[in-house]
Structure 1
Amino acid sequence: MNPDFRSTALCAAISLCLVPVARAQDAPTLDSVQVTATRIEKPLDEALASVTVIDRADIEASQAPDLIDLLGRQAGIDIARTGGPGGASTVFLRGGNSNHALVLIDGIRVGSTGQGVFDFAHLPLEQIERIEIVRGPRAAFWGSDAIGGVIHVFTRDPSAPSARATVGSYGRRGASAGAGLGDSRQGLGFTAGYQRLDGFSATNPDATFAFDTDEDGYRNRNLSLRGRTELGSHRLAVQVISTDADVEFDQGLTQARNTSGGVTLAGELTDRWTHQLTAGHAREDLASESSFSNEFHSRRNSVDWVNHLRTGDAQAVHFGLNWQRETGANSNVFDGDVFDRSRTSKALFAGYGGRFGAHVLDLSLRRDDSDQFGGATTGNVGWGWAFSELARLRLSWGEGFRAPNFNELYYPDSGFGYAGNPDLRPEQSSTWEFGLEVEPAAGHRLGASVYRSRVRDLIAFAAPLTNNAININRAELEGVELEYRFRREAWTLGGNFTWQDAIDAGTGDPLLRRAKRKAHLDLGYRLGNGLELGLDGDYVSDRADFGADLDAYALAHLRVSWQFTPAWRVEARLENLTDRDYALAYGYNTPGRSTMLNLVWNGKD
């Protein structure tokens, strides 16, 4: 481990341990429920992982302009975007590659079978009820891709009607509405939205490819449906979300259509045995209209059966099965059909865990088998100790793997140093993590995580030695994450700080677009008469990119909201208060000082 990081980790742990412990009357507690870390409902203090839960109230209070901006504020997450809203967006979780984070929507895997990533640019915040971010490997629970962790998005619950209208800089305008009917036993609802921006030029003269000063706009149409009904001791639920986006770029247009959904039957088999059976589908269709028109189609069908069997008052066995069929097809104007391939994977997983007095234990093991890449076995071990009513430490070890995507496997040799290789092995990882959560005084909550990951068999295109993708690289990822939250009466204060070292172990070079240091701070104050003020700040250190280094930057944002009736609220946000020039990707522009105004109706009488 890098000596600087070893010292930082030690200091962080000691500083938290030395905080005087007193009862936290008004602090956010550790008993919030999450479902992503182990695929079953558990309080946060039994997750044995670094978990962030962002609920609908947090989303609205943040006034974030889009999902990629909201994710970039979280500890351990770096973001990149090629241009303004709607531009291709990527997320790096704990220093891993963009395809090292498993992305789920309502429990359905949505990453493209082509590049192995999900573009968060097209998923509007108006469609989201809750986000759970689990840092660290989760392959023993979820299988491929969860090397850096899992980002799980839950779509909006339309049981309470709502509506929103938005206007802002760069020709931003949009509207959304949701409504539902039914009762506690059954119901049906929808949320629909539309966004449009005239935008600004996506690129600048530093761009490697064509540069044009025209405005690059964005349009997004989206719809989600949710339904549920009770069948005896079981509940049958259906959820579907679809987005249809048009993204303008210099001298071209990309049409991006994404749809995912599932049918779930869940309930009790006995008084100690509950289960959940889900059939899911996800698809992505990309069509690029330019001098080099290109299309990609991704399909994934899946079936998951997850079981939870209580073996004691606070202990349980969990086990389940997974089956999925993935298909990817690519074509372009010059070559016609480039590839059209499929593969089928099956998995079996099991685990045991629970609370034993002040201790929590979790053991899990999973076996994945594929007719394309063979198999992978992954495990996870976690232990937690609540050494006081208000403090808990955790220690975990876990493995991860990533199956090669279809581009890496089957893209033909075009002579430009990029060609697939059907003999690729899955990437594999192992991670140690230490964590500590403390509620030291009334209204305060502190958290710290120290981790060290090693990734082997990384897939790279090694031109000019060969045009084919090969398993050649290794990565070393280590870091420290600190989080703080304070809430008392009219004041809220929160922040997080991330130190990380993400390097190519073979060359010692830093991995691209991952900052060594980043921080976020938000301050809020609630006045009388429904008026609230807020100030947000972000800092990101310099980082390497293709062709050049990206400079460090600091941004400040101001937000105001006024709940002038129980049902109506108006929000105003001033983004990039100091009109700072900065870059998320070399050669691509970002917004300057800009404004956004929202009128919100929450359906209350």
Structure 2
Amino acid sequence: MFKRLLFLTASLIPVAAQAQDTADREESADTITVTANGLATDIANTGQAVTIIDRAEIDSIQGADPVRILRRAPGLSISRTGPVGAQTSIFVRGAANEQLLVLIDGVRVADTAAPSGGYDFGTLLASGVGKFDLLRGSNSTIWGSDAVGGVLDISTRGRTGIEGSVEYGARDTVTTGATGGVAGDSYFAGLNANWFRTDGFSAAANGTERDGFEQFSLGGSAFLDVTPTLEMFVNGRYATGDLDIDGFPAPAFALADTAETQETEQYSGAVGFNYYGQDLTLRGSYSLSDTERENFDRAVSDLPSFASDGRSDRLSLRGEYRLIGGLVIAAGAEHEWTSYETSFDTRAEAEITGAYTQFGWVLGGLAAHVGGRIDDHDRFGTEASFGGDLSYALGSDWRLRASVGEGFKAPTLFQLFSDFGNTALQPERSTSYDIGLERGSRREGLHLAATAFRRDSEDLIAFVSCFGSTAPLCNDRPFGTYDNVARARSQGFEFEAGADVLPGLRLSGVATVLDAEDRISGFDLARRPDYFATLFADYTTGFGLALGADLRLVGDSFDDAANTVGLDGYEVFDLRAAYDVTERYQLFGRIENLFDADYQTAAGYATAGRGAFVGVRARM
């Protein structure tokens, strides 16, 4: 039973071990990753760069904004066009937001109707998250398309017993959440619900009208032991949100206050089985993800000014077989159907089939993996991906790790079939390398890590103008089209450190030095700072009081590809506190942006000033 619970905890299904039936299931597996090879793996047995942030740490940071949590992972820089809920992009080691494969409970959740096909982190609230499992580096060998910059698996909350929280603060912001479940020797069923509302602030830095955001989300999961070796599972998530946005009204066509809003509805889920034999583990599933958006301009009409609907359906089978000693072979196959339609584009579809094999060997302190994958897309044909990694224990809790991986991203349906589309597009491709030295783990004792990385990307898809062009590609696309014309290189260093300097006091930090370059123009990639870091301190007393502080440091960058619009660096400081009134009740609060720093992560768009928040949490 425990083996299955641990596997599910790490890989998709929110389950808690029976010995921990009042604890969040994600707190029991903070060293287990699924992003490295698609199945539950101890983080020490992979040479890839992985960061895990569990629910205990999420609770300590507080708040519904996932950006405040994800900035604790090295290699991540962030851009947002307004308040919480606005378009939010995450750049992993300089890769574009759409080059990060995002999974929620193992289900791909990218918006297939979006022009770039990425996931908008503005639609995610941390109050419903149980764990973030982030792999930094290309890994299409295991994951197929989109895993160019990395892979982020987000587990929704799940626990036995009941927990609820409510928080109120600046800008009339309310966050509520509840999660609970029941479990027996052969079953688990759980639900979580979250509601968030804020008046926000004007997304346009020169605006005065507040842009608010409201979202409700509901998630659930269940499993049942059919036999001692066969388990059935199901999970699902639904979210609906309403966001006020600013636009570019006539006659100036400059960013300013508008009456525009965007309504988003998302649902995703999976159903399948897990088989646990003596030497063989199998996981099979069917999953789906759908994102519907409608934009309104109430000053003009109550009818949508734009609507889109993107969907993906996927069949997947993964397995692992222990051959002899520490030798393991993992293999899998997937088939995905994607579709989209918009107010201006008729429905279009594409399919992709992929299969991979990976050999792994664990012997004492040595762990190594090497594998390959073939994908076949019904538009551009086949694509091969290879990868490998090595982890070696040096003694005294030090570990050397290294990895090389290839990634690819299939052209989006919009890039292929819209009025600007080009059906001759090829996939974007990347090769990444990293090598690092690490001591200990990030949440306890002395932790030190340094990683050097590099990623070369080619055949990147960019929009090209057809104004005045006589190129054949522009014959029926007078305004422009998409083509594989760009190349990029990102390289740099990541640093991590943490230490228990006094009883109850832990100091930690992550930092990244980044050089992200367009290899055609030689300019810096837009919105990629040359350095960024987060320093954080946590102090726990012996009488239930916990104090914390977070300092975010970000260097200069450019907002545009031509490097003509600069974004100044900035520093943001947060303070937080929590007090356990009893074993079941906790009061917590924080002050974000204590010194009221004025900064931008996207030119022309405002960011939040100083804000205070207070809340209460109850556990039964």
Q: Distance in 2 between matches of 1:428 and 1:77?
A: 21
- After TM superposition, give the deviation of residue 409 of structure 1 in Å: 1.4
- Listed one character per residue, the Cα deviations across residues 477-531 of structure 1 (whole Å, up to 9, x for unaligned) are 1010011122363111110010011110011100011111001000111123201
Aligned to 2:180, the other structure's residue is in SS state: strand
2:168 alignment partner in structure 1: 167
For residue 338 of structure 1, give the secondary structure of its aligned residue in structure 2. Answer: coil
**For residues 291-334 of structure 1, what are the alpha-carbon distances to aligned partners after superposition, in whole Å with 9 as ceiling and x for unaligned?**
58111101111011001000123220000110110001111xxx
2:350–2:413 Cα contact (<8 Å) kept: no
The one-letter code sitting in structure 1 at the alignment partner of 2:88 is S
Looking at structure 1, the residues matched to 208 and 310 of structure 2 have their Cα atoms a distance apart, in angstroms, of 33
Among 491, 494, 506, the residue aligned to 1:478 = 491
**1:197: which partner in 2?**
198
Q: Secondary structure at 1:85's aligned position in 2?
A: coil
Match in the other structure for 1:493: 507
SS in 1 for 2:360: strand
Post-superposition offset of 1:285: 0.3
Answer yes or no: is the 8 Å Cα contact 2:65–2:126 preserved in 1. Answer: yes
Correspondence for 1:574 among 586, 591, 594: 591
1:64/1:70 contact within 8 Å kept: no
The 1-side partners of 2:457 and 2:112 are apart by 21
Following superposition of structure 1 onto structure 2, how do residues 323-402 of structure 1 map, counting pairs within 5 Å? 323-331=335-343, 337-402=344-409
Structure ranking higher on relative contact order (CA contacts 8 Å, 6+ apart) = 1
Aligned partners of 1:449 and 1:135: how far apart in 2? Answer: 11
* Matched residues, number: 558
Equivalent in the alignment of 1:438: 439
- Structure-2 residue corresponding to 1:304: 316
* SS of equivalent to 1:421: coil
Shift of the alpha carbon at 1:62? 1.3
Q: Which residue of 2 aligns with 1:563?
A: 580
AA of the residue aligned to 1:52: T
The CA deviation string for residues 562-585 of structure 1, in whole angstroms up to 9 with x for no partner, is 011000001111000100101111
2:55 alignment partner AA: R
SS at match of 1:311: strand
Does 319-328 or 109-118 show the bigger shift? Answer: 109-118
CA contact (8 A) 2:64 2:125 kept: no
Shift of 1:224: 0.5
CA contact (8 A) 1:497 1:520 kept: yes
The alpha-carbon deviation at position 64 of structure 1 amounts to 4.2
Within the alignment, does 1:543 sit opposite 2:557 as a pair?
A: yes
Partners of 1:33 and 1:357 in 2: how far apart? Answer: 18
Match for residue 245 of structure 1? 241
459-468 or 43-52: bigger deviation: 459-468
Q: Counterpart of 2:331 in structure 1: which amino acid? A: F
Matches of 1:137 and 1:406, distance apart in 2: 22
Is 1:68–1:121's contact at 8 Å kept on the other side of the alignment? no
Name which of 250, 270, 293 aligns with 2:305.
Answer: 293
- Which deviates more, 516-525 or 380-389? 380-389
Contact 1:102 1:109 (8 Å CA) reproduced:
yes
The answer to whether the 8 Å contact 2:30/2:54 transfers is no
Name the TM-score, length of structure 1 as normaliser. 0.89
User: Could you tell me how far apart the structure 2 residues matched to 1:161 and 1:440 are?
Assistant: 30
Q: Secondary structure at the match of 1:409?
A: helix
Identity of aligned residues (%): 29
Is the aligned partner of 1:454 residue 2:462?
A: no
Describe the superposition over 1:39-95 as per-residue Cα deviations: whole angstroms up to 9, x where unpaired: 111111112111000111010011144112322332111111110011111111110
- CA–CA distance in 2 between the matches of 1:68 and 1:440? 22
| 1:273 lines up with 2:272 in the alignment | no
Asked if the contact 1:79–1:584 (Cα under 8 Å) also holds between the matched residues in 2, the reply is yes
Structure 2 letter corresponding to 1:573: R
8 A Cα contact 2:46 2:368, kept in partner: no
Q: 1:96 touches 1:148 (CA, 8 Å); kept in 2?
A: yes
Q: CA deviation at 1:204?
A: 2.3
For 2:212, the equivalent position in structure 1 comes to 217
Q: Unaligned 5+ residue runs, structure 1?
A: 1-27, 206-211, 332-336, 413-418
| TM value normalised by structure 2 | 0.87
Which residue of structure 1 lines up, in the alignment, with residue 18 of structure 2? none
Aligned equivalent of 1:52:
51
Residues 521-530 or 238-247, more deviating = 521-530
Per the TM alignment, residue 247 of structure 1 is displaced from its structure 2 partner at its CA by 0.1
Instruction: Establish whether residue 317 from structure 1 lines up as the match of residue 329 from structure 2.
Output: yes
CA deviation profile, 1:168-196 (whole Å, cap 9, x unmatched): 10010132212222313112221112111
Quick one: distance in 2 between partners of 1:178 and 1:397?
Answer: 39
| 1:274 CA displacement | 1.0
In the aligned structure 2, how far is the partner of 1:568 from the partner of 1:103? 34
Distance 1:357 1:199 in 2: 53
- Contact 1:164 1:176 survives alignment (8 Å): yes
